[in-house]
Amino acid sequence: MQKIDRYEPIVGKSKIDELRMLAGYLKGKVIQHINSTAVGGGVAEILSKILPLMQELGVNTQWDIIKGSPDFFDVTKSIHNALHGKDTLITKEMWKTFNDISSQNIREMNLYGDIMFIHDPQPIALVKRKSGMRKSKWIWRCHVDVSAPDRKVWDFLSNFIDQYDAAIFSSAHFSHKMKPKQVLISPSIDPFSDKNREVTQDEIDAVLNKYKIDPRQKPIVCQISRYDALKDPVGVIEAYKMVKKYVDCQLVLVGNRAADDPETDKIYGQVLEAAGGDPDIHALLVEDIPYEINVLQRVSDVIVQKSIREGFALTVSEALWKAKPVVASAVGGIPLQIKHKYGGLLCHSIEGAAFAIKQLLNAPEYARKLGENGKEHIRQNFLLTRHIREYMLLFLSLYSDSGVVTL
């Protein structure tokens, strides 16, 4: 049995047959994905799941990573923040660092794809090699919320974006005027990955012991995200404190390190300070062990994603797939995943988050129903098979003058 066959009972046979057919049309093409980190964050998460399936379907799909120095990742994190609309100073020297490291990657990287699939701003300048790779098609995949970017930074990136053949965004709100054709493709989760599969009682016990969490004591409110100001972990603590006045509960904050995110320690320090030694706050800085995230999501009573900006928020799909009631900010790709009061609760402030968490903790039957509806929504819209289908259709459209795929 192939891996892809396992998805049939979840999404239906016709969907899997279609994937096989589309893959057949891509025989002989090499797809080269490039991003800036192999672990940590949503991009690495998705690529690690898409690659094996595409390869199994017979599409030659590869993944390479650019080289970067700590200085370079400081700059790209500032670019990331500026794209999210945060007031950020990027000095001349910082731009020079970006250009120097980009030039080094442009010179040294082995670029060989028929379709070059570049993720996010860090490797964006590689498109300068396009003219030397005749017939290659270039896709820029934007995973960040660019609904209200800093104008200067966006204009700088536009010089590169305009050289691509297509640009992919996760929400229609992120669209801008640009030369390449724009495509809306949402990310996805893999129901069979260690992060989403069923877990055993032994696995649950091991994780709870390791992190000294007892779910029988008090209901668990949990947010799982890199320690990043835009994920607002301190806001989650404030919301928890408001809830705690009415419902006794414990808060679990979980974050790992992404190789391309230099801000972890600073934000984690702020979180510990805000937690102020409260024994019911578990602020965990964890290694990248997917099944542990899975367990922590499953033992939670309410899952929060109180982001200030968000490209998509895979964590929301992951939580809903486990039929958990979710409280999440109405930003970026989150409203695509949550229909308010049907498949979760959307919020717009710390107070709003606190109100929604309290409501769910007080009404378990309502919370259960929201979780169930949310899971069905994810099944229909945000699983890996849909994502792969849309990528393959886009690849094929790049070889059609009209942009329409005729099979």
Instruction: Scan for tokens 């990955």, then name that residue.
Output: 193
Note whether 286 binds ligand UDP by CB under 6 A: yes
Site for ligand UDP in 236-265 (CB under 6 A): 254-256
| Three-point CA angle 56, 62, 65, nearest 5° | 145
Note whether 318 binds ligand UDP by CB under 6 A: yes
- For residue 222, the minimal CB distance to ligand UDP (Å) is 11
Single-letter amino acid code for the residue at 253: L
> Angle, nearest 10°, between helix axes 92-108 and 70-83?
110
Site for ligand UDP in 296-315 (CB under 6 A): 312-315
Note whether 275 binds ligand UDP by CB under 6 A: no
Displacement of CA 307 from its chain's centroid (Å)? 12
Spatial distance between the Cα atoms of 70 and 35, rounded to a whole number of angstroms:
16
| Three-point CA angle 309, 303, 8, nearest 5° | 95
Note whether 293 binds ligand UDP by CB under 6 A: yes
**What does the per-residue mask of binding to ligand UDP show for 166-205, with x meaning CB under 6 A?**
-----------------------------x----------
What token pair was written down for 87? 């007031």
For ligand UDP, the closer CB: 255 or 371: 255
What would you report as the CA-atom Rg of the chain, rounded to the nearest whole angstrom?
Answer: 21
Spatial distance between the Cα atoms of 99 and 97, rounded to a whole number of angstroms:
5
- For residue 225, the minimal CB distance to ligand UDP (Å) is 6
**What does the per-residue mask of binding to ligand UDP show for 340-369, with x meaning CB under 6 A?**
------------------------------
For ligand UDP, the closer CB: 165 or 318: 318
Task: Give the dihedral sign, CA 124/65/138/50.
Answer: negative
Note whether 271 binds ligand UDP by CB under 6 A: no
For ligand UDP, the closer CB: 111 or 284: 284
For ligand UDP, the closer CB: 114 or 228: 228
Which residues lie closer than 8 Å to 219 by C-beta, 6 or more apart?
A: 247, 249, 250, 301, 302, 361
What token pair was written down for 186? 């949402």
- For residue 289, the minimal CB distance to ligand UDP (Å) is 8
Spatial distance between the Cα atoms of 27 and 54, rounded to a whole number of angstroms:
11
**Closest-CB residue for ligand UDP?**
42
E strands of 115-272, at which residues? 115-119, 137-141, 166-169, 181-184, 220-224, 250-255
Instruction: Scan for tokens 């609309």, then name that residue.
Output: 85
Phi-psi region of 41 (alpha: psi -120 to 50; beta: other; left: phi over 0): left
Q: Among 130, 123, 78, which residue's Cα sits nearest to residue 105?
A: 123
- For residue 124, the minimal CB distance to ligand UDP (Å) is 17
Choose which of 50, 116, 168, 224 interacts with ligand UDP (CB under 6 A): 224
Spatial distance between the Cα atoms of 186 and 202, rounded to a whole number of angstroms:
34
Stretch that binds ligand UDP, among 62-70, 112-120, 202-210, 224-232 (CB under 6 A): 224-232
- Count CB atoms within 10 A of the CB of residue 9: 8
- For residue 194, the minimal CB distance to ligand UDP (Å) is 10
**What does the per-residue mask of binding to ligand UDP show for 27-66, with x meaning CB under 6 A?**
--------------xx--x---------------------
Choose which of 76, 225, 250, 329 interacts with ligand UDP (CB under 6 A): 225
Displacement of CA 25 from its chain's centroid (Å)? 29
- For residue 39, the minimal CB distance to ligand UDP (Å) is 9
Q: What is the size of the binding site for ligand UDP (CB under 6 A)?
A: 19
Q: What is the DSSP letter of 189?
A: B
- For residue 150, the minimal CB distance to ligand UDP (Å) is 18
For ligand UDP, the closer CB: 238 or 288: 288
Q: Footprint of ligand UDP on this chain (CB under 6 A)? A: 41-42, 45, 195, 224-226, 254-256, 286, 288, 290, 293, 312-315, 318
